Amino acid sequence: MQKGLSLVGVMIATLILSGAMTSLVSYQVVMNQIRFDQRYVNMGSLLAAEGVELARGVVTENRYSGSQWDEGLDQGRYRVDYTLDLSDGLQSVNTTTCSVNPDELNDSCRLKRNSSNQIYSHTGTDTEDEAVEIYRFVEVIDGSEDNEKRVVSTVVIRNRRTDKKAVYKAAVILYSTS
Amino acid sequence: MTSKIVQRKKGFTLVEVMVSGALLALLSISMTGPFIGAVRFQRDIRSVDEMVDNIQMILNVLDKELRTSSNPEIVTINGTQRLQFMNQEDILVQYYQDGSDLYKNIGNDDPIIYQGTQVFQFDQVNFDVSPETPDPDTPSRVTVSIRGVTNLSSTDNSMIFQTTIIPRNR
């Protein structure tokens, strides 16, 4: 006597199969979402590195002009962007109100796109159509020696739709070359 | 007296086959949406990855060239703004956007063309140089911004990549 499967058996097998397939698709979707969110990694890293590069530019300017190597690089927080006049140092863009703590993002350190040249700066235009908000500040910390300064540039990118925030940092230790 | 053994084959009844077939069909239909969504999402990610990789590669090349360059400035030729500088070997290099492509001239050689692909385009390439004309007493600062656009239908289909470089040479 050959015994076949009962209807209940077929239904259970089908349910298990569909459950497994749903899990597989969900896993794929979650992994894709993570990859999709990671697309801002390069953008955030570049903007963080830009903050460091501008602080380093102040040291180069001091070398060219014969000023003290760290003039304009006092310990503090700064809103630095590409409009910075290197000869003024960072003191011209000092800020005490700017925070990039992901839990208390402050609009004064937002980077906004310039409508004419599409370059991010603190004086750009707010564009609501953008998918993300970008915040940045640069912190100068006195080193343990007189001839060194630590510069940390922090960028936070907030996804407007999901409210997810990612933090990117770049840091450098600047030395007196004399 | 002879006994007859009757073998009875047990399988599915027509009703059972129809019911399980209907259930399977329903499940398949309900799974189609997520599957199509996952495939579309995968395609979108590939577009974004391709754009990010291409623009990142260009910025890396530009970064290396500019660090060892001298006399960077913006010039306007045929109504198009170009970033030009003297490279490490003292050869004139120019970068400029033409349509949705990015061009690079090195000396008198044929230009190198960075083209968009089927899935992304160079939407806007912008340069900013300070001071505007090279000054031996002031370090130059070059800011490059490249806006790429993918063919995604979503609102977040564009990204701006920006970097600032201060050449080490006077």
Taking only the tens place, the pLDDT of each residue in A111-130 is: 998 888 789 998 888 766 67
Secondary structure of residue A124 in the 3-state scheme: coil
Starting at the edge strand found earlier in the chain, the sheet holding B101-106 runs: B70-77, B80-86, B92-98, B101-106, B112-114
Q: Which of A75, A46, A52, A53 is closest to A157 using CA atoms?
A: A46
Q: Which residue in B10, B31, B37 is closest to A21 by CB distance? A: B31
pLDDT digits (tens, 9 = 90+) for A10-22: 778 878 888 888 8
* A14 and B CB contact within 8 Å: yes
Q: What stretches in chain B show pLDDT beneath 70?
A: 1-11, 153-156, 170
Gap between the Cα atoms of A118 and A160, Å rounded: 19
**Which residue among B23, B156, B162 places its CB closest to the CB of A50?**
B162
Q: Do A11 and B20 touch (CB under 8 A)?
A: yes
> Contact B143/A82, CB-based, under 8 Å?
yes
Q: A169 to chain B, minimum CA–CA distance in Å?
A: 15
Q: List chain A residues with CB under 8 Å of B155.
A: 129, 131
* ipTM here: 0.80
pLDDT tens sequence across B123-137:
899 999 988 887 877
Which residues have a Cβ under 8 Å from the Cβ of A136 and sit 6 or more positions away?
A47, A48, A51, A79, A80, A81, A100, A109, A111, A153, A154, A155, A156
Q: CB of B161 within 8 Å of any CB in chain A?
A: yes
